[in-house]
């Protein structure tokens, strides 16, 4: 077993006890994480002790539970784990530990596991001797705190349109499109090549938009472009009536939820239409359009474009306002032009969104993250995915464990309420003296040397 803390505790090779400079990420010390921890001369940390902590700040020690014994724990990557201990009833500390408290086990001066007290079993009258008059404490690992947060709909509870699935990708409300450019206005609703081929469009103000090309009205290459915008729905509007034409085909999303599909067909072409229930306030609209190639005339006429308009409707079916659409395509829409891959979100972004939203509602207070949206806890860049989703009302722990099956590994730092996450199978990759062995059996994800890493200790 290593003499180092946190990741080194389970990953690193053994180091001599005379090595007094140790990694302090997770060490029981007042030093900032990442700085060396120095043993003080003449002070020998106990081999194993338990300390009591309370939320939301787990750093201060309420009490050192010196009378605890039968201390044991089970820690496993991606799993909650468990811990337990016993205190004699005659010990005054037996009464200060309450359900919801956090107990941290420390070995040789380093935090090695923390757990939440869930059950207290006090033997008031035992059949044995005096030493049988004890209180047993047991509970789940610190990671179980994530179950206190819930995944809400993207715009919050009670906001329409509503879907019982929360998807995290480029159409989502919280997708970061700052790096996207602005779309090119390529003509009015009856401009250029489409002038005589469209019927039933409700206005002359909406504009075709597409990538910045010399003449997209006449010719554009095959491939997909993605556009987004935000808009406000005024009070009194209960419904949106949507009009959509795409060249050649694609899908429209509101607040990350698919609402309408269109495929360009034989002319004259009429817009696809639908009604969507909506609540007042800000909403996000996103469209994916894939242009094809006309095999007969691709060198002459093969335009690409997106045309959209939405009108507000009140509870009695009247259009509001009657002078024009609430939102329509124009040069103010964001666009990413012909990307090599469909834009998505990283697992780090997804997890950050879920935690920050839960904290804004008063849950998961005190939790910090050892990663961000760009890199994992070891500094490995996160890949992007377009299929990360979960059912609304899923607790955060369950959702993150769903992600562990494909995208991530995770672990809770025992010295404080800090969640670490890594690209799947990359935990410890920053350590020069650790060899990572990939999965050897495709049917057994635990066949790699890190996938199912666990640690069990009985005092």
Q: What pLDDT, on a 0 to 100 scale, did the predictor assign at position 440? A: 73
The residue-averaged pLDDT of 396-405 equals 97
**pLDDT over 80 (residue 170):** yes
**pLDDT over 60 (residue 76):** yes
**pLDDT over 90 (residue 64):** yes
SS3 for the chain, per residue?
CCCCCCHHHHHCCCCCCCCCEEECCCECCCCCCCCEEECCCCCCCCCCEEEEECCCCCCCCCEECCCCEEEEEEEECCCCCEEEEEEECCCHHHHCCCCCCEEEEEECCEEEEEEEEEEEEECCCCCCCHHHCEEEEEEEEHHHHHHHCECCCCCCCCCCCCCCEEEECCCCCCCCCCCCEECEEEECCCCHHHCCCECCCCCCCCCEEECCCCCCCCECCCEEEEEEEEEEECCCCCEEEEEEEEECEEEEEECCEEEEEEECCCCCECCEEEEEECCCEEEEEEEEEEECCCCCCCCCCECCEEEEEEEEECCCCCEECCCCCCEECCCCCEEEECCCCCCCECHHHHHHHHHHHHHHCCCCCCCEECCCCCECCCCCECCCECCEEEECCCEHHHHHHHHHCCCEEEEEECCCCEEEEEECCCCCCCCCCCCCCCCCECCEHHHCCCCCCEEEEEC
Domain boundaries, the chain: 7-146, 170-337, 347-458
Q: What pLDDT, on a 0 to 100 scale, did the predictor assign at position 37? A: 40
CA pseudo-torsion sign 156, 159, 165, 166:
negative
Q: What pLDDT, on a 0 to 100 scale, did the predictor assign at position 427? A: 84
Q: What pLDDT, on a 0 to 100 scale, did the predictor assign at position 316? A: 74
**pLDDT over 90 (residue 138):** yes
The residue-averaged pLDDT of 202-227 equals 93
Question: Using one digit for the tens of pLDDT, what is the confidence trace for 20-54?
Answer: 333 333 334 433 443 334 344 555 666 789 999 99
The residue-averaged pLDDT of 324-353 equals 96
pTM listed for this prediction:
0.84
Question: Using one digit for the tens of pLDDT, what is the confidence trace for 411-452?
Answer: 999 988 899 999 998 887 776 665 666 667 777 755 665 555
**pLDDT over 60 (residue 171):** yes
CATH of domain 170-337: 2.60.120.260
């Amino acid at each position: 077993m290593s003499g180092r803390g946190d990741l080194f505790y389970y990953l690193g090779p053994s180091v001599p006890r005379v090595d007094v400079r140790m990694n302090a990420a997770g060490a029981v010390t007042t030093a900032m994480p990442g700085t060396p921890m120095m043993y003080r001369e003449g002070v020998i940390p106990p081999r194993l002790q338990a300390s009591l902590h309370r939320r939301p700040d787990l750093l201060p020690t309420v009490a050192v539970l010196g009378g605890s014994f039968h201390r044991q724990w089970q820690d496993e990557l991606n799993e909650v784990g468990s811990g337990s201990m016993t205190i004699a009833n005659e010990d005054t500390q037996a009464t200060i530990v309450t359900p919801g408290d956090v107990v941290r086990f420390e070995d040789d001066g380093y935090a090695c596991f923390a757990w939440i007290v869930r059950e207290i079993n006090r033997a008031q009258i035992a059949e044995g001797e005096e030493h049988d008059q004890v209180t047993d404490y047991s509970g789940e690992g610190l990671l179980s705190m994530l179950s206190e947060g819930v995944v809400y709909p993207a715009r919050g509870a009670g906001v329409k349109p509503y879907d019982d699935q929360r998807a995290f990708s480029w159409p989502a409300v919280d997708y970061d499109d700052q790096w996207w450019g602005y779309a090119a206005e390529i003509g009015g609703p009856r401009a250029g090549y489409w002038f005589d081929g469209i019927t039933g469009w409700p206005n002359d103000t909406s504009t075709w938009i597409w990538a910045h090309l010399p003449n997209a009205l006449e010719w554009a290459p095959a491939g997909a472009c993605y556009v987004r915008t935000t808009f406000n729905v005024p009070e009194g509007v209960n419904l949106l009536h949507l009009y959509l034409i795409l060249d050649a085909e694609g899908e429209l999303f509101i607040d990350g939820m698919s609402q309408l599909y269109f495929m360009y067909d034989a002319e004259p072409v009429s817009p696809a239409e639908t009604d969507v229930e909506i609540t007042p306030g800000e909403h996000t609209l996103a469209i994916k359009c894939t242009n094809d190639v006309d095999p007969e005339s691709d060198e002459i006429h093969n335009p690409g474009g997106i045309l959209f308009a939405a009108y507000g409707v009140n509870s009695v079916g009247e259009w509001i306002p009657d002078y024009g659409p609430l939102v329509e395509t124009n040069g103010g829409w964001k666009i990413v032009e012909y990307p090599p891959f469909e834009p998505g979100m990283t697992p780090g972004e997804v997890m950050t969104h879920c935690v920050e939203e839960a904290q804004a509602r008063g849950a998961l207070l005190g939790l910090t993250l050892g990663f961000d949206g760009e890199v994992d806890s070891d500094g490995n860049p996160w890949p992007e995915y377009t299929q990360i989703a979960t059912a609304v009302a899923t607790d955060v722990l369950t959702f993150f464990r769903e992600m562990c099956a494909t995208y991530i590994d995770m672990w809770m730092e025992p010295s404080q309420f800090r969640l670490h996450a890594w690209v799947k199978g990359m935990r410890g990759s920053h350590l020069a003296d650790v060899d990572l062995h990939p999965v050897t059996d495709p049917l057994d994800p635990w066949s790699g040397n890190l996938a199912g890493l666990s640690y069990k200790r009985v005092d």
